[in-house]
């Protein structure tokens, strides 16, 4: 029934359009073709002005609505540089856009078809060609130079005093590892990976691993105003560590270690006040489609003071101690257990 109604409605719309077209044809014959054409031209010219005004208003509204969602407050020093570059680019291109579009729509209105005017033949002008080639070229070169400067500072080696945190993606969550008192992350080998007691495949023969702390809930604790170097990896497919508030992202590739560094500048507590949102958390998103549970790969970042961070780290039990707790495992993860774990992991595969 609804199908029949839809077809009838479409047919009716066609009949109405056809009748209107016929009526205008008859009106043209009665009033004179030229008069009707002049009126149509004027209507189209005014409609073009309306399109321009509504278009500019629409762009402004979209900007107001989308910018806070797409570009949350920047909470890293790199983020401020990114935002400045974006602002400069948007202002420059915005000015050019506004001038060219205003001229385009003004010309369609001002020079609508008229029998009193003949068109002016203007095929070429060397000065104009030179002007609109060199000015954009110089502007683009300056923008690229600013971008390259920022890029080289962001991709430069992390400062010596950086906090080091490892983040490893897997289908479908993030595993985060912190070095213990020795400030060194121990070696790991994918052949040691075992979901039961060695999620990152840590090599227990390497003593540096014994005090490392692992957070499997995807919570990353960072120190405010201290550079952090992220050591990024993946256990299975390609993921991507996306940190929108810090304007950073980097692929997590199986078999390859990638890194990135930045300095968080606003603590989570301060951000709660700035945003007026008591539940605010910095998010880690996976920015690479990695499987059916991709949407659920949400982690969080807690930015805190150095004192708070030390206190938090003191409370954490090392992963080595956790997996070797008497109640959890009958046998300690000695060298032989590591070997057994290795063979188990291989058998599982």
Q: Which residues bind Cu ion (CB under 5 A)?
A: 286, 290, 294, 297
Contacts for 326 with CB less than 8 Å, ≥ 6 apart? none
CA distances from 58 to 53, 55, 64, 75, 308 (A): 9, 5, 10, 29, 46
Closer CB to Cu ion, 294 or 298, in the complex: 294
Q: How far is CA 201 from the centre of its chain?
A: 30
Name residue, tokens 């629409």: 58
- We find the least distance from the C-beta atom of residue 289 to Cu ion, in angstroms, to be 6
Contacts for 333 with CB less than 8 Å, ≥ 6 apart? 197, 198, 204, 320, 323, 324, 341
Q: How far apart are CA 266 and CA 72, in angstroms?
A: 13
Closer CB to Cu ion, 219 or 270, in the complex: 219
- We find the least distance from the C-beta atom of residue 296 to Cu ion, in angstroms, to be 9
Q: What are phi and psi of 300, to 5 degrees?
A: -130, 155
- We find the least distance from the C-beta atom of residue 220 to Cu ion, in angstroms, to be 17
Please classify residue 318 by burial: count the beta carbons closer than 10 Å to its beta carbon, then call 0-12 exposed, 13-18 middle and 19+ buried: middle
Q: How far apart are CA 225 and CA 230, in angstroms?
A: 15
Closer CB to Cu ion, 226 or 294, in the complex: 294
Closer CB to Cu ion, 222 or 290, in the complex: 290
Closer CB to Cu ion, 170 or 188, in the complex: 170
- We find the least distance from the C-beta atom of residue 171 to Cu ion, in angstroms, to be 8
Q: Which two tokens stand for residue 53?
A: 């005004």
Q: How far is CA 244 from the centre of its chain?
A: 6
Closer CB to Cu ion, 213 or 286, in the complex: 286
Q: Are strands 219-223 and 299-304 parallel, antiparallel or unpaired?
A: parallel
Closer CB to Cu ion, 153 or 296, in the complex: 296
């Amino acid at each position: 029934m609804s199908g029949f109604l839809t077809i009838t409605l479409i047919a009716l719309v066609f009949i109405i359009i056809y009748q209107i077209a016929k009526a205008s044809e008859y009106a043209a014959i009665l009033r004179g073709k030229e008069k009707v054409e002049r009126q149509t031209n004027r209507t189209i010219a005014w409609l073009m002005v309306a399109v321009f005004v509504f278009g500019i208003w629409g762009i402004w509204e979209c900007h107001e609505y989308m910018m806070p969602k797409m570009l949350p407050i920047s909470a890293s020093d790199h983020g401020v540089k990114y935002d400045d570059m974006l602002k400069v680019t948007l202002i420059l291109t915005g000015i050019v856009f506004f001038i060219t579009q205003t001229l385009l729509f003004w010309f369609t209105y001002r020079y609508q078809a008229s029998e009193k005017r003949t068109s002016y033949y203007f095929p070429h002008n060397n000065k104009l060609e030179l002007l609109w080639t060199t000015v954009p070229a110089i502007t683009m070169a300056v923008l690229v130079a600013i971008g390259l400067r920022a890029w080289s500072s962001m991709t430069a080696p992390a400062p010596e005093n950086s906090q080091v945190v490892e983040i490893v993606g897997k289908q479908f969550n993030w595993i985060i590892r912190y070095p213990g008192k020795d400030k060194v992350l121990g070696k790991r080998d994918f052949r040691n990976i075992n979901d039961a007691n060695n999620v990152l495949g840590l090599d227990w023969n390497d003593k540096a691993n014994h005090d490392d702390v692992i957070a499997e809930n995807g919570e990353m604790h960072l120190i405010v105003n201290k550079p952090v170097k992220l050591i990024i990896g993946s256990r299975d497919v390609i993921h991507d560590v996306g940190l929108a508030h810090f304007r950073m992202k980097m692929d997590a590739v199986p078999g390859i270690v990638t890194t990135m560094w930045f300095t968080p500048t606003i603590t989570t507590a301060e951000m709660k006040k700035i945003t007026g949102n008591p539940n605010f958390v910095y998010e880690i998103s996976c920015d690479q489609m990695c499987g059916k549970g991709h949407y659920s790969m949400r982690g969080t970042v807690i930015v805190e003071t150095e004192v708070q961070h030390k206190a938090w780290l003191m409370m954490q039990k090392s992963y080595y101690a956790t997996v070797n707790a008497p109640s959890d495992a009958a046998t300690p993860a000695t060298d032989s257990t590591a070997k057994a774990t290795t063979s188990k992991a291989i058998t599982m595969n």
